[in-house]
Amino acid sequence: MANGRPEPVITWRHLTPTGREFEGEEEYLEILGITREQSGKYECKAANEVSSADVKQVKVTVNYPPTITESKSNEATTGRQASLKCEASAVPAPDFEWYRDDTRINSANGLEIKSTEGQSSLTVTNVTEEHYGNYTCVAANKLGVTNASLVLFRPGSVRGINGSISLAVPLWLLAASLLCLLSKC
C-alpha cells in the first residue's frame, strides 16, 4: 500500500525486454485475459515529486496445461541403442508417461525412461525387431494432458508426413505395375 502527500502515482512494469508499463492509482495490477507470456517479474513504483520513488517487485506465475513442443522419432539399427525424445511446456511442470500400443512402459527389460523438468526420453539399450513401431509420449499436469506419437523405425524405411512408416518403392516400379494392370499383362 502506497501513501504520501501529494498522492503518489503508481506505475507497474513487466520486466521484459519490451517492458510494457501500466499506470493507475491502484496498488494492485489487474491483468485481464492473462496468457503464459505475461508470467514473470513485475515492478511496482510509487512516486511523487517530494521524495524518491519506492520500488517493489512481484513474481507472477501463470499456470497452463502441457503443450508438446518437440517430439523426435528415431531410426534404429538392430543390436544398437536408440532413443525417442519428447519435450513439453507447462506450469506446473508436466509428468511424463510412455506407451507402446495401449500398454504403459516402465524402465525394465532393456528400456530406460528418463524425465526431467519439461522433457523425457525413452531409451532402448539393445534394439530388437519387437522394438520397432509406434510409441506415445504423454505429458500431464493438474490442468491437462497432451500426447505425441513417435516412431522407432528400421534403417532405410521412409516416414510419411505424419511419421508413419512406408516402404521405399521406386516410382518407376509403381508406374510399371500400373501399366501392367491396365494392359492386362
**Do 41 and 74 sit in the same domain of this protein?**
no
Residue 142 lies in domain: 64-154
Which DSSP string corresponds to the chain?
A: ----SSPPEEEEEE-SSS--EEEES-SS---TT--GGG-EEEEEEEE-SSSPPEEEEEEE---EEEEEEEEE-EE--TTS-EEEEEEEEEESPPEEEEEETTEEE-SBTTEEEEEETTEEEEEESS--GGG-EEEEEEEEETTEEEEEEEEEE-TT-EE-TTS-EE----HHHHHHHHHHHHHT-
Domains in the chain: how many in total? 2
The CATH number of the domain holding residue 38 is 2.60.40.10
Q: Is 127 part of a structural domain of the chain?
A: yes
- Which pLDDT score, from 0 to 100, does residue 159 have? 54
Examine the domain organization and report whether 15 and 73 are in the same domain.
Answer: no
pLDDT in tens, the chain (185 residues): 666 677 888 888 888 877 676 665 577 888 889 998 889 999 899 888 888 888 999 999 999 999 999 998 999 999 999 999 999 999 999 999 999 988 999 999 899 999 999 999 999 999 999 999 999 999 999 999 999 999 999 988 765 544 544 444 444 444 545 455 556 65
84 with 49, same domain: the answer is: no
Same domain, 68 and 115: yes
Do residues 20 and 78 share a domain? no
Specify the pLDDT at position 162.
44
Q: Is 83 part of a structural domain of the chain?
A: yes
- Both 21 and 71 in one domain: the answer is no
| Judgement on whether residues 49 and 92 belong to the same structural domain of the protein | no
Q: What is the pLDDT of residue 136?
A: 97
Same domain, 72 and 144: yes
In this prediction, residue 182 carries a pLDDT of 57
